[in-house]
Structure 1
Amino acid sequence: MYNDSKHGFEAAQTQYEVFMLPPHDWVPNNRKLPVAIYRRALEPDSGDLAAAFELLFEQNQWPPQWRDGIFDYHHFHASAHEVLGVTDGSAQVIVGGPGGRVVTINAGDVLLLPAGTGHCLQSFARHFQVVAGYPEGQQWDIRREALTPEEQALMEALPFPPTDPVDGDRGPVVEHWLKAV
């Protein structure tokens, strides 16, 4: 549970769901690591969610790198795992590539995407915005075509972050990702 009384940010016990995605067409997804959605990681009305997610991700060694929306075209990142904290609005995001799973995310939710996971904004409401973070030492790229076997091997060899971006020493990264090695 994340609490920062100095800034007024608070979260209830975070609930999350995890699911695996098989490779799909040109999108590799991740054969070892599940996608995770944290529901109400932060209370949506608890203040400046962008600042709260930035603090949370930073303290858990997933430094935030930008604030914006999600691209409305299918893409994935082969060189970094990604965490997206929803700071405003809501959206339907296609996860897994064209024809993939549609998930709804709302202010206060977090979407954790292992390297290779396709994603695309399908629709949004209000002023949809996210804060994005990546494990220390990983730099994101934007891929829109299949990986070569060499690139696939490099993606699969990416190091695991030592902590979960939301729950630190517990949560999906610790419970599912670190067990995959």
Structure 2
Amino acid sequence: MNKNNLQTYRFEDDGVIPNNPNLPVLFYPGAFSEQLERTEETFNENNWRNSWTNGVFDFHHYHSNAHEVLGVVQGTAILQLGGEKGKSLDIKKGDVIILPAGTGHKRLQSSDDFKIVGAYPDGMEHNLKTEKEEDRLFASEDISKVPLPDADPVFGYNGPLLKEWNVR
């Protein structure tokens, strides 16, 4: 696993998707390229739990009450991050994306075998918000109350997330 490939992305509120006003998306290309089978286990060991394996919805959505990590364990995809005015990101097996609460994400396309592992800091339960106007009512307030995680889901207590999100 390599910490040096970190890429960060910031997204503004676009009037539909709130995104996160303070925290960037973190992208670790190839974080698990050599130990793919340890993706979920590593997330869980670093206290990112309540994990699942599946895909990514093909509509814009976000979680206003939890941060989320996504680790690609199979296949490839193009995700749209940050809403319609955001960024398209090509992801592949071994890549990891950490989405701060409020960050919009949507699957634009994927290979037939695409699968990700998702998890949340401290095993938090997450909500599902979409582009509906009523989903925005308390979203900004919810986002501001989400606690910072104790550890980076990939690199633990010495990971880049701690610096990038000013955890310590």
Task: Determine if the TM-score, normalized by the shorter chain, exceeds 0.5.
Answer: yes
Q: Alpha-carbon deviation of 1:158?
A: 0.8
The secondary structure found in structure 2 opposite 1:156 is helix
Once the two structures are superposed, residues 13-55 of structure 1 have per-residue CA deviations (whole angstroms, 9 ceiling, x without a partner) of: 55210111111121000000000110111125x5xx3x41111
Q: Alpha-carbon deviation of 1:126?
A: 4.2
User: Equivalent residue for 1:128?
Assistant: 114
Is 2:139 aligned against 1:161? no
Matches within 5 A, 1:80-159: 80-144=66-130, 145=132, 146-148=135-137, 150-159=138-147
Distance 1:22 1:167, change over 3 A: same
Q: Alpha-carbon deviation of 1:151?
A: 3.8
**More deviation in 139-148 or 32-41?**
139-148
* Partner Cα distance (1:14, 1:126) in 2: 30
With the length of structure 2 as denominator, give the TM-score of the two structures: 0.90
User: Equivalent residue for 2:16?
Assistant: 26
* Partner Cα distance (2:128, 2:25) in 1: 18
Aligned residues of 2:50 and 2:124 also touching (Cα < 8 A): no
Distance 1:34 1:12, change over 3 A: closer
- The match for 1:174 among 149, 162, 165 is 162
Q: Alpha-carbon deviation of 1:176?
A: 1.2
Aligned residues of 1:86 and 1:129 also touching (Cα < 8 A): yes
Q: Alpha-carbon deviation of 1:154?
A: 2.4
Equivalent residues, number:
165
Once the two structures are superposed, residues 144-178 of structure 1 have per-residue CA deviations (whole angstroms, 9 ceiling, x without a partner) of: 13422x44222211110010111112333201112
* Partner Cα distance (1:136, 1:114) in 2: 14
* Partner Cα distance (1:137, 1:106) in 2: 25
* Partner Cα distance (2:4, 2:31) in 1: 5
Of structures 1 and 2, the larger Rg is shown by 1
- The match for 1:36 among 1, 26, 41 is 26
The secondary structure found in structure 2 opposite 1:78 is coil
